[in-house]
Amino acid sequence: MKILLTGSTGQVGNALLQPLTELGQIIAPTRRELDLSQLDSIREAIARHQPDLIINPAAYTSVDQAESDIDLAHRINALAPQVIAQEAKNRNIGLIHFSTDYVFDGNKADHQGNWTPYLETDSAKPLNEYGKSKLAGDLAIQASGCQHLIFRTSWVYSSLGKNFLSSMLRLANDKDELRIVNDQWGAPTSAGWLANVTCAIIQQLQNANDKATWWTQHGGLYHMTAAGKTNWQEFATEIMRQSAPLNLLTKSAPVIHGIPSADYPTPACRPHNSSLDNSKFSREFKLPIPIWQDLLQTVLLEKAHVS
């Protein structure tokens, strides 16, 4: 199986590189080799490489910057997936795409006013330009009629690159006190786990006798996050709690104060409730979904091992 992978310098794309090599021949152009904002070069690359499967974790992910860079975010997050999906449809090949909790407005609650997790069937109503561009990408893929899997995930981090985990570890070594938002709830999900379950699903596809039937039965939109939920302050506190015994902190952990989002204004509005219901994913693929604290431990152990 020949797999075209975008975004291999990003968190999820990079985590996919190694496990994917077990499954086939990987072509992973960098942005310099395939700029997704150039729609014709996407068509040209697919024609040149003739993949059997395309995996698209590449995205414009700067949520705040997207507020003022609307056209580019839309081009990369909506138009590029649309072109990829049209090519996948024309060539009768599969597409695996990643999307986000930020397609929702974060207000879903039960009668008592408690936040409840979003289902795949809930209406999306993004609060920010990033979410709007990602939702447009999801809808374009669905409308194309190509064989697809769209995995909506949340709060992605990894042991490499810039993310909430690396920011917290850097700040922990600089500051004695931190003020972190405590009224946005979601599930921190590691790029490594996302990569591993994506590969396990590709393996299920490869094991199927009839691939077209597999896509008919299993294709579609899924929520795919770690189990459990937390807020950013609790996530930061758990990072400190687990990092200290691994010697990832150079001094005692800072005191972490919770603050409301209103006290930390950002260009883009973020949903209060980012919790996604994973039961469709777990029913369909029968893969275990670890609790977010366990995924954090795996990533921190990896970080401690390499540092």
Ligand X SMILES: NC(=O)c1ccc[n+]([C@@H]2O[C@H](COP(=O)([O-])OP(=O)(O)OC[C@H]3O[C@@H](n4cnc5c(N)ncnc54)[C@H](OP(=O)(O)O)[C@@H]3O)[C@@H](O)[C@H]2O)c1
- Residues near ligand X (CB under 6 A) are 6-7, 9-13, 31, 34-37, 57-61, 76, 98, 100-101, 134, 153-156, 161, 191
CB of 245 to ligand X, least distance (A): 26
Query: Which residue has the closest beta carbon to ligand X?
Result: 10
CB of 94 to ligand X, least distance (A): 17
Three-class DSSP category at 230: strand
Amino acid at position 272, single letter:
H
Amino acid at position 157, single letter:
Y
Instruction: Between 101 and 129, name the residue whose CB sits nearer to ligand X.
Output: 101
DSSP 146: -
Short-list 268, 110, 281, 290, CA closest to 184: 268
CB of 99 to ligand X, least distance (A): 6
Active site residue 130: yes
152 has which bridge partners? 99, 223
Residue pair 152/100 in contact by the 8 Å Cβ criterion: yes
Among residues 130, 157, 222, 264, which one is catalytic? 130
Instruction: Between 161 and 245, name the residue whose CB sits nearer to ligand X.
Output: 161
Instruction: Between 60 and 104, name the residue whose CB sits nearer to ligand X.
Output: 60
Using CA atoms of 191, 227, 133, 41 in order, give the dihedral in degrees to the nearest 10.
30
CB of 73 to ligand X, least distance (A): 9
Three-class DSSP category at 186: strand
Instruction: Between 156 and 226, name the residue whose CB sits nearer to ligand X.
Output: 156
List active site positions.
130
